[in-house]
Amino acid sequence: MPPPRPVAGQASAEYVALLAVVGVVVAGAGAVGSPPALAARLAAALRHGICRVAGGVCTSGEARAAGLAPCLVQARTDRERLGGRLLVVRLGRGDALLVERRSDGSASVSFTDGATAGGVVGVGLQLPAGLRAGIHGGAGLQFTAGRTWEFTSFAAAARFVRRWAPRESLGGEARGLLRRACPFCHGRGAPAMPPPDARYVEGGAYGEFAAALRAGPAAGGLGADEEGAAGAVVGRRVGRGGRVTWYDRIDAETAGRLGAVLGALEARQASEAALEVNTVGGRPRELRLRAAARLHGNLELSPPVAVLGDLAAQLRGAAGGDPDGGRGRRVEVELSLDLTDARNRRALAGVVDVLRLRVPPSDWGTRLRALATRLDADAAVDVRVLRVALDEGDLGAESALGLGVGGSYRRTREVRDLLRAWSLPAGGELREREDCIPA
């Protein structure tokens, strides 16, 4: 009697057969012009079959069983900024709306109010042979306060935005000031917003510079520009249940020294990263590190991957294909470290002591390496690929009399849509998160 067929092999063979059948049906449906809804269902079935064969996380139930949190599938940020300048003094006022949608159907809405104050200087030169050079820079302080509301459904979040977003814009706040200045001119006062689920404040310093070199027509009209910005921001978020999050923005170079995965992202010219420490009842629970970089080409992460070094190697060399295929895309990496483990707490405390000037700055490298070692050994990692769309509008004017007087208004909208996601739990293996991708 022949030996029984392995169950796992049989299941894989059955899924391969199913995929073949679905592929034929999809091709036939396209040939006869099937309704879009049917084609979408067939495509979803095909994707689900591929997920099962590849051993990914295919449903929200599997994600919960594996202890994986819902993914952020879309984020929309609307920003307004009003600025003014008088001589070398620059002031700014800004508002922002952030709407986040998660894979479990829940959503959150955040409103922020910010202000900046600083100085700006500049100089211009007219050089021989029609060359012109200019440089200007500025520095100052910034402060932001925000509130966040949580919703069990995206529809409820959308209704909240329609109700309250007009009042929280710069124009709405101006109307509110007029109403408070003359309450009898505008009828009854505005209703109060419901209490938020969390509040946060952040503040810090910023710096910026720009330089330009231009040649006149006689020299061929050549030119070059260079600009940059830097900042240090520390914030605190307070939520319900005694949950407090302290966060700090760190430069990409420092983030690149915090383990193999962030080092791989820094090699892709990662932008500024963020460090968060979550506490409950005053006790540290979790460290989170986030960083992002532009993506040129396609990102493919393939199991088996069980250690962060293997994941880092794939992140360094996984982008390929059409170099234009990554336009408007970016890769985000998030590491989480359990701070209930005493070894992880000690490694984090070593870095914090340097930031608080409790130990000599010469210890910085040693303490960073100690934290990087714990991250490589014990951190969980989430990797996301997102499509990013940005729309900007500017309006401004400045005097031409050398007085340095002017004003500006800037509006931006950024939408990030999740395209693919992977999770590597601590002590587990890398799995693709099909449960996070909208059908």
Quote the CA–CA distance of 83 and 120 in Å, as a whole number. 13
pLDDT for residue 278 is more than 80: yes
Q: For residues 319 and 428, which has the higher predicted lDDT (pLDDT)?
A: 428
SS3 assignment for the chain: CCCCCCHHHHHHHHHHHHHHHHHHHHHHHHHHCCCHHHHHHHHHHHHHHHHHHHCCECCHHHHHHCCCCCCEEEEEEEEEEEEEEECCEEEEEEEEEEEEEECCCCEEEEEEEEEEEEEEEEEEEEEHHHEEEEEEEEEEEEEEEEEEEEECCHHHHHHHHHHHHHHHCHHHHHHHHHHHHCCCCCCCCCCCCCCCCEEEEEEEEEEEEEEEEEECHHHCCCEEEEEEEEEEEEEEEEEHHHEEEEEEEECHHHHCCCCHHHHHHHCCCCCCEEEEEEEECCEEEEEEEEEEEECCCECCCCCCCCCHHHHHHHHHHCCECCHHHHCCEEEEEEEEEECCCHHHHHHHHHHHHHHCCCCCHHHHHHHHHHHHHHHHHHCEEEEEEEEEEEEEEEEEEECCCCCCEEEEEEEEEEEEEEEEEEEECCCCCCEEEHHHCCC
Name which of 94-103, 132-141, 295-304 the model is least confident about: 132-141
433 pLDDT more than 70:
yes
Q: State residue 121's pLDDT score.
A: 59
**Once rounded to an integer, what is the mean pLDDT over residues 121-136?**
58
Instruction: Output the pLDDT for position 136.
Output: 59
pLDDT of 434 higher than 70:
yes
The answer to whether residue 281 scores a pLDDT higher than 90 is: no
pLDDT grade for 53, boundaries at 50, 70 and 90:
low
Q: Under a CB-based contact definition with an 8 Å cutoff, are residues 427 and 50 in contact? A: no
Least confident range from 26-30, 118-122, 334-338: namely 26-30
Residue with the larger pLDDT of the pair 358 and 49: 358
Range 121-146 average pLDDT: 65
pLDDT for residue 320? 44
Give the pLDDT mean for 342-360.
Answer: 84
Q: What is the pLDDT of residue 255?
A: 85
CA distance 63 to 434: 10
The predicted-structure confidence for 213-230, as pLDDT tens digits, reads as follows 555 554 444 555 555 555
pTM, whole model, 2 decimals? Answer: 0.77
- In the structure, what pLDDT confidence band is assigned to residue 45 with cuts at 50, 70 and 90? low
How much is the mean pLDDT over the chain?
77
pLDDT given at position 123: 55
Mean pLDDT over 262-282 rounds to: 84
Residue 367 has pLDDT above 60, yes or no: yes
- Domains of the chain, residue spans: 1-54, 55-436
pLDDT band per the 50, 70, 90 thresholds, residue 77: very high
pLDDT of 7 reads 38
Give the residue-averaged pLDDT of 122-143: 62
Top-confidence residue, 411 or 402:
411
Q: What is the pLDDT of residue 396?
A: 56
- Which of 57-61, 185-189, 318-322 has the largest mean confidence? 57-61
**Quick one: average pLDDT of 275-299?**
89
Q: Report pLDDT for 269.
A: 72
Average pLDDT on 337-355 reads 90
Q: What is the pLDDT of residue 240?
A: 82
Tokens of 298: 């396609």
Amino acid 4: pLDDT: 40
Q: Is the pLDDT of residue 401 over 60?
A: no
Which range in 210-219, 250-259, 321-330 is most confidently predicted, on average pLDDT?
250-259
- Residue 225 is predicted with a pLDDT of 52
Residue 29 near residue 39 (C-beta atoms within 8 A): yes
